[in-house]
Chain A
């Protein structure tokens, strides 16, 4: 085990996790709006925001799926040491992290069941950058309309059609984070 596995967690977990979670809560409540995350320093290629989101949400009860280039030994060790989350395949994951190409196809993830739509996966999508451009977002949490450079449109429209079932997404780039819950209506530019 390398030294960098043991570092990169929150220095003052109760306070830093609270501040990081607040950004995630605001992001999920206001789809498409971009918020700042701080405190985590995960191994590359994982971003500060994605690492922070995992430190806030993941523990021994939340199976994590690592997709694409994120399924690397350094990241596996870091998540195991800091969260204790079991690393699993797509079908069993409560949380999944990776770039968009690595996370696809989405139909393998849990979307919840009619009695318990909350038993669905949350996907953390690593992006090159986040910007308020591209697809138009409307729906709960949005006063008129927001824009976000989503990696796709059709996929999110199909996910919206599953409501109240479906997947929920965080998008991360560096220290920035935005969210897209299953309720948001996505339209191409």
Chain B
């Protein structure tokens, strides 16, 4: 018996997967609405992507190719350990190439390369309720969603403008899905918000908070704003120190003890792809 055979396929028991699958279908039918689900304890701490892992385990098939990123990178602890978890428990093949993956689990980024039909993007979500920091009571936020009462969120954005002269929210920037539910896109930079109107399926799992939600392909996802302060998906005006990209989202990396720093692509696969392409062109 191999190690993979000692686990049920993709770790979770079938009863749990059925419950999560039912929640996923309802989540797709009501885009942006947070479906409660009976989140299980996973063999990793809350905050490490227990919600995303449960969603991935429920959608994974034996033929899938899995990619896991943490802030865009394939080689950080969280990404490596989740990838190995599914290699061990599901025996699926893994990849770091965005274009070759059929399921991509992500923590806080959307890959730079556009996703296509047949791919599924699974987000790890810490706090799924966009109104939670404005209204701590679940009974109240639930009522606000039911009544489509999102005035409080606009007041928050307005206060940003009053205090800072602009909307200062830089990540987890609230969106309205298909003109109905206001949704937390998880802590992705607002630079990524426009990419959420894509051809792939987007699923969101919050393990500790026990919520699942989804955005079907080709669904309207509008970042909240004001007519005189329109949403802007911007980033610093720098280019990547490794591949020279001016379009991609950058991470700041400290390189020595003297405060030296460089900016590199947060999406490691995108950066490597560009560099190897540049190499080939230089040789050719």
Contacts and interface: CB of A to CB of B under 8 A. Distances in A.
Interface in A17-73: 17-19, 21-22, 24-26, 28-30, 56-59, 61-62
A59 B25 contact: no
B199 A143 contact: yes
B167 interface: no
Contacts of B217: 29-30, 141, 143
Given A14-B14, A17-B17, A115-B143, A29 B60 contact: no
Interface string B112-130: 0000000010000000000
B26 to A, nearest CB: 4
A18 B62 contact: yes
Is chain B's interface secondary structure helix, strand, loop, or mixed overall? Answer: mixed
Interface stretch (B30-38, B226-234, B263-271): B30-38
B25 A140 contact: no
A176 interface: no
A172 interface: no
A168 B26 contact: yes
Given A57-B18, A140-B219, A141-B219, A14 B9 contact: yes
Given A56-B21, A140-B216, A182 B29 contact: yes
Contact of B33 (A24, A58, A117, A143): A117
A117 B18 contact: no
Interface string B1-44: 00000001110001101110111111111110101100000000
Contacts of A22: 59, 61
B233 to A, nearest CB: 22
A13 interface: yes
A168 B201 contact: no
A160 B198 CA distance: 23
Contact of B61 (A18, A139, A140, A168): A18
A61 B19 CA distance: 9
> Interface range on chain A: under 10, 10 to 19, 20 to 34, or 35 or more?
35 or more
A181 interface: yes
Contacts of A118: 23, 26-27, 30, 33, 35-36
B201 A26 contact: yes
B110 to A, nearest CB: 17
Given A28-B28, A118-B23, A21 B58 contact: yes
Interface size, B (range)? 35 or more
A117 B220 CA distance: 20
Contacts of B24: 25
A25 B28 contact: yes
B25 A25 contact: yes
A164 B180 contact: yes
A57 B18 CA distance: 6
Given A59-B18, A118-B35, A15 B9 contact: yes
Contacts of A163: 180
Contacts of B120: 25
18 contacts: A15-B61, A17-B17, A18-B60, A19-B61, A25-B59, A28-B28, A29-B214, A30-B217, A61-B19, A115-B142, A116-B36, A118-B33, A120-B26, A122-B25, A142-B218, A164-B180, A168-B29, A183-B29
Nearest 8 CB-CB pairings of A with B: A14-B9, A181-B29, A114-B146, A141-B216, A118-B26, A140-B219, A168-B29, A29-B216
Interface of B: 8-10, 14-15, 17-19, 21-31, 33, 35-36, 58-63, 120, 142-143, 146-147, 178, 180-181, 199, 201, 214, 216-220
